[in-house]
Structure 1
Amino acid sequence: MAITVTSLVGEEIKSILPDLARLRIIVFRDWPYLYDGTIEYEEKYLAKLAAAKGAVCVVARDGDMVVGASTAAPMVEHADEFAEPFENAGYDLDKVFYCGESVLLTSHRGHGIGNAFFDQREAHARKLGGFTYSTFCRVVRPDDHPLKPKDYRPLDPFWKKRGYAPVDGLVASYAWKDIDQNEETEHLMQFWVRTL
């Protein structure tokens, strides 16, 4: 594999949005997100990312093909649902850098791209300056969920190795439509945090 990983900022991000939408729909359809995504929703959601001051999109390519992408932006530029738990817990939102999705095709996992995604997003936060914390969140699902694959391995060890840890009580709620549901439902999202 001739994989390259590069960071896009500002207007450059717009060029990758169709690929990012495609990857989000493919990757998040799997456990644990079970997201039944649409291009229409993705276009709206990602337009906000592209307009966010200080945003970055880290892109993995295999030759010319986009096989993965990872986003981040200052928390003050992200959804209110995600900022609220931090405000309630006494964090200064101006000091929190939010790492959004990391989506990577299964065919390209296990080659260090996940580390590159975190490396470049954290480096971007340090370059912007003023951030004390880096954070991301993951969906909370019950262990006995009927759609959980028997061979599922959570990414917790990887995240802990990167210095992140879940923070008790730092939980948001976000709605989307699951692949086995007829309408959107709320999902709990647990935040993991590390100091930069």
Structure 2
Amino acid sequence: MNLTVDSLTGDQLKSVLPDLARLRIAVFRAWPYLYEGSAAYEEEYLAKFAAGRGAVCIVARDGDKVVGASTASPMVETDAEFIEPFESAGYDISKVFYCGESVLLKEYRGHGLGHAFFDGREEHARKLGGFDISTFCRVVRPDNHPLKEPGYVPLDAFWRKRGYAPVEGLVAHYSWKDIGEDEETSKPMQFWVKALT
């Protein structure tokens, strides 16, 4: 492996959107997201993300091949579904930095790239300035879900080591199409938060 990690913004970020779409469709198909991705959905979703002035994508490459990526932006530049729980809980949205998704091919896990993704996003938040907290969310699925992978270990311990913790009641609801479904359905997304001071 010849792994490198870069922090991309602006036109550089836009240049990796096709790779990011490919990775999102592949990685999020697995438990717990079970995402039935499509190129059309990805194009629209990622174009909106890339248009944000504060958007960043941390990209991992093995040589020239993009093998992982992690996105983030100020919360004010994200979807209303993610903003609403923070506004309802009394947070100042302008001071919240949202770490979006991290996608990494399975064979590249365990090489420190998860830490590099968080380091890069938190560094970008500090560079932009004005943020009190960093946050991300994860889907909540029932333990008895028929498609749950045997032996699946959630990343809770890793996230706690990074200083994040779930905040009770801070939950968004976001819709996408699960594998084998004809229609999108809403899923609860639990937010985890870390102080950036």
Q: State if a TM-score over 0.5 links the two structures.
A: yes
Q: 1:132: which partner in 2?
A: 132
**What is the TM-score of this pair, normalised by structure 2?**
0.99
Sequence identity of aligned pairs in percent?
A: 72
**What is the TM-score of this pair, normalised by structure 1?**
0.99
Which 4+ runs in 1 deviate beyond 6 A? none
SS at match of 2:102: strand
Q: 1:78: which partner in 2?
A: 78
Q: 1:97: which partner in 2?
A: 97
Q: 1:157: which partner in 2?
A: 157
Question: C-alpha distance in 2, partners of 1:118/1:191?
Answer: 15
- Structure 1 unaligned residues grouped into runs of 5+: none
Question: C-alpha distance in 1, partners of 2:180/2:194?
Answer: 34
Question: C-alpha distance in 2, partners of 1:28/1:4?
Answer: 23
Question: C-alpha distance in 2, partners of 1:146/1:180?
Answer: 13
Q: 1:185: which partner in 2?
A: 185
Question: C-alpha distance in 2, partners of 1:11/1:95?
Answer: 25
Q: 1:16: which partner in 2?
A: 16
- What amino acid does structure 2 have at the position aligned with 1:171? V
Question: C-alpha distance in 2, partners of 1:45/1:180?
Answer: 21
Question: C-alpha distance in 1, partners of 2:97/2:185?
Answer: 27
Q: 1:115: which partner in 2?
A: 115
Q: 1:194: which partner in 2?
A: 194
Deviation digits for residues 123-177 of structure 1 (CA, Å, limit 9, x no counterpart): 0000000000000000000001010011101000000000000000000000000
Question: By how many angstroms is 1:46 displaced?
Answer: 0.2
Q: 2:46: which partner in 1?
A: 46
Deviation digits for residues 52-107 of structure 1 (CA, Å, limit 9, x no counterpart): 01110000000000000000000000000000000000000000000000000001
Q: 2:68: which partner in 1?
A: 68
Question: C-alpha distance in 1, partners of 2:95/2:193?
Answer: 12
Question: By how many angstroms is 1:24 displaced?
Answer: 0.2
Q: 1:88: which partner in 2?
A: 88
Question: By how many angstroms is 1:182 displaced?
Answer: 2.0
SS at match of 1:183: coil
- Structure 2 unaligned residues grouped into runs of 5+: none
SS at match of 2:16: helix
Q: Number of aligned pairs?
A: 196
C-alpha RMSD of matched pairs (Å): 0.5
Question: C-alpha distance in 2, partners of 1:11/1:51?
Answer: 10
Q: 1:28: which partner in 2?
A: 28
